[in-house]
């Protein structure tokens, strides 16, 4: 059980290291036990992380109860909501790589025997998992849990409604008083924002892939069940260590298939595509967009959580959570029951006897919202290497659409025009040079998508970008267009007024422009200068791969 940490605790030559550990207050007895790194992203700037000190303490209690010595270590974390709509968003996706690097660094430098990861929001979850896969020691993820939905004008709401309220205010559809009610009501306390946004998507998919215990994705941050889950996570890591079950034993090609199935059933954030690709890359597994398309074609969409529908994470938890979704998918043999999980048991053992408690929240597999998954992958002459859309959040009338391109070379240009009311019904807003390299950092486009939704244009206007979207975006919001404009992709060749054809059911995205015309435009194409000329984002821009590869570092 205790092999790695022997390198810092045993032998005459390790006496100087032991002296430093004794300086921390550890006893000889504690150093003779397995050392478990507890990596916490607690901070006072991220609402989803403000409670992680309590979660971390509970994890440490569980480790001690099971005979280990927990050692807390820090991780950084960006709040996507606070970083939204300004230069700060360039750092969000890019920070995933720093987090992965830091997990690898802290665990390898200090030779922990196992680790429990305590993240909650957006890029922190996949970043920590990526780092764990590099180190490949026993690992459990224990998130901080989702926020409760807020109440505004007697209706349950979450952060997506706040961003849409901005668009409504700009269009003078609501007044300052109503905007203030949203400001003060949509986020009632700690936790990851209450819809099926990126944070809750990834925490749910950690549970689906098996690296987190049942309940990780859905138990609300404010419930005492969350503290009990954290204690059990601390105990579980000791069992995994005893049985020599490592991160790569849990995360493999078969368990990634389960995560893809869950992704489609839930209708997760499109960011989940980026993160699953990156996680698979760190696990040494070849994963391509075509497999997402394959799962989308065979896995029905069972849930419509905000922004796709009226339900929130607390409702999904009350309906039975991710394990209940699995039990429903299992009725048609969609999941792999035999893969091992952080419980030490298989998926089949975990879901034995479980049933859905609320068929309004988790639809029966024979009566789904749609026979196809919540995400869709598309290809065409402006997305030769693919792009992604959250199909479950697209109005039926926008699944197939044709309209003139309104072209912008940055998010800032687009949002200014949208706020000025200069986007017309039928338009296709094209935002480019916002990809991993072009941004750099592949900014989320929640401001423009929510502004359009708040102006009641989500059923008449589409948006296409080589950037990405928050899980809170809804409407025909098509992102991750590859190749991106900054790499010479055809999205950079579109001109104002070009007709764009969108066919989500058929997986097609095309500009009504001939190959010959594109070739002529390419000869004259001029790349705009990067907005980033200093700092580590320059290094990121130089080395980051395309979105179709998960925007990993090469």
**Residues taking part in catalysis:** 470
Pairing of strands 69-74, 477-482: unpaired
Q: Which residues sit opposite 37 in a β-bridge? A: 71, 115
DSSP assignment of 289-352, as one string?
HHHHHHHHHHS-B---BTTSSSB-HHHHHHTTHHHHHHHHHHTTT-S-TT-B-TTSSBHHHHHT
Peptide bond before residue 307 is cis, with ω within 30 degrees of 0? yes
Beta strands per DSSP E along 158-288? none
Q: Which residues sit opposite 155 in a β-bridge? A: 152
Peptide bond before residue 462 is cis, with ω within 30 degrees of 0? no
Q: Which residues sit opposite 1 in a β-bridge? A: none
Q: Where are the alpha helices (DSSP H) in 148-223?
A: 159-170, 176-185, 198-209
Q: Report the alpha-carbon distance of residue 293 to residue 279 in Å, rounded.
A: 18
Q: Report the alpha-carbon distance of residue 323 to residue 330 in Å, rounded.
A: 10
SS3 category, 475: coil
Say if CB 5 and CB 113 are below 8 A apart: yes
Q: Which residues sit opposite 160 in a β-bridge? A: none
Say if CB 410 and CB 421 are below 8 A apart: no
Q: Report the alpha-carbon distance of residue 303 to residue 196 in Å, rounded.
A: 10
Give the dihedral sign, CA 272/278/282/285.
positive
What count of other Cβ atoms lies within 10 Å of the Cβ of residue 395?
12
Name the residue among 202, 209, 328, 362 with its Cα closest to residue 273.
202
Name the residue among 261, 235, 237 with its Cα closest to residue 250.
237
What count of other Cβ atoms lies within 10 Å of the Cβ of residue 233?
27
Say if CB 137 and CB 58 are below 8 A apart: no
Dihedrals phi, psi of 285, to nearest 5 degrees? -110, 130
Say if CB 64 and CB 102 are below 8 A apart: no
Q: Which residues sit opposite 152 in a β-bridge? A: 155
Dihedrals phi, psi of 425, to nearest 5 degrees? -55, 135
SS3 category, 204: helix
CA distances for 425 relative to 259, 397, 417, 430, 457, angstroms = 37, 13, 14, 14, 7
């Amino acid at each position: 059980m205790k092999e790695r940490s022997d390198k810092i605790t045993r032998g005459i030559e390790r006496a100087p290291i032991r002296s430093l550990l004794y300086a921390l207050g550890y006893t000889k007895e504690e150093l003779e036990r397995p050392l478990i790194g507890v990596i916490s992203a607690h901070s006072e700037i991220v609402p989803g992380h403000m409670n992680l000190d309590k979660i971390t303490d509970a994890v440490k209690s569980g480790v001690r109860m099971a005979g280990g010595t927990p050692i807390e270590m820090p991780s950084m974390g960006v709040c996507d909501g606070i970083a939204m709509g300004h230069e700060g968003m360039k750092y969000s996706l890019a920070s995933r790589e720093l987090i992965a690097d830091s997990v690898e660094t802290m665990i390898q430098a200090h030779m922990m025997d196992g680790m429990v990861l305590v993240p909650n929001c957006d890029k922190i979850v996949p970043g920590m998992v990526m780092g764990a896969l590099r180190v490949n020691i026993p690992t459990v993820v224990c998130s901080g849990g989702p926020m409760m939905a807020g109440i505004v004008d007697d209706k349950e709401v979450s952060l997506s409604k706040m961003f849409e309220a901005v668009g409504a205010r700009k269009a003078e559809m609501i007044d300052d008083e109503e905007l203030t009610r949203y400001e003060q009501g949509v986020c009632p306390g700690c936790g990851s924002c209450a819809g099926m946004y990126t944070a809750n998507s990834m925490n749910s998919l950690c549970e689906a892939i098996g690296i987190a215990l049942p309940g990780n994705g859905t138990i609300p941050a404010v419930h005492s069940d969350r503290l009990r889950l954290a204690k059990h996570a601390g105990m579980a890591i000791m069992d995994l260590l005893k049985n020599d079950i490592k991160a790569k034993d849990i995360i493999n090609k078969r368990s990634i298939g389960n995560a893809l199935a869950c992704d489609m059933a839930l209708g997760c954030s499109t960011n989940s595509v980026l993160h699953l690709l990156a996680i698979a890359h760190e696990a040494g597994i070849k994963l391509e967009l075509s497999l997402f398309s394959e799962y989308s074609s065979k896995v029905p969409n069972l849930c419509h959580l905000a922004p796709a529908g009226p339900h929130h994470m607390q409702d999904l938890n009350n309906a039975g959570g991710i394990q209940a979704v699995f039990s429903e998918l299992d009725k048609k043999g969609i999941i792999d029951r035999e893969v091992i999980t952080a419980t030490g048991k298989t998926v089949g053992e975990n879901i034995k006897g479980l049933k859905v408690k609320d068929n309004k929240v988790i639809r029966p597999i024979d009566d789904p919202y749609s026979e196809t998954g919540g995400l869709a992958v598309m290809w065409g002459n402006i997305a030769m290497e693919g792009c992604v859309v959250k199909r479950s959040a697209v109005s039926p009338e926008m699944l197939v659409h044709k309209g003139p391109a309104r072209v912008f070379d940055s998010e800032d240009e687009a949002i200014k025009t949208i706020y000025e009311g200069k986007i017309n019904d039928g338009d296709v807003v094209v935002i480019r040079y916002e990809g991993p390299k072009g941004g750099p950092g592949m900014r989320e486009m929640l401001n423009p998508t929510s502004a359009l939704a708040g102006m009641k244009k989500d059923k008449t206007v589409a948006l296409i970008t080589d950037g990405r979207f928050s899980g809170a975006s809804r409407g025909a919001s098509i992102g991750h267009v590859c190749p991106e404009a900054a790499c010479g992709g055809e999205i950079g060749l579109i001109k104002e007024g070009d007709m764009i054809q969108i066919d989500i059911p058929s997986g097609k995205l095309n500009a009504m422009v001939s190959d010959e015309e594109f070739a002529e435009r390419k000869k004259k194409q001029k790349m705009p200068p990067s907005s980033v000329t200093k700092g580590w984002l320059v290094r990121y821009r130089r080395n980051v791969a395309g979105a179709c590869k998960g925007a990993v570092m090469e």
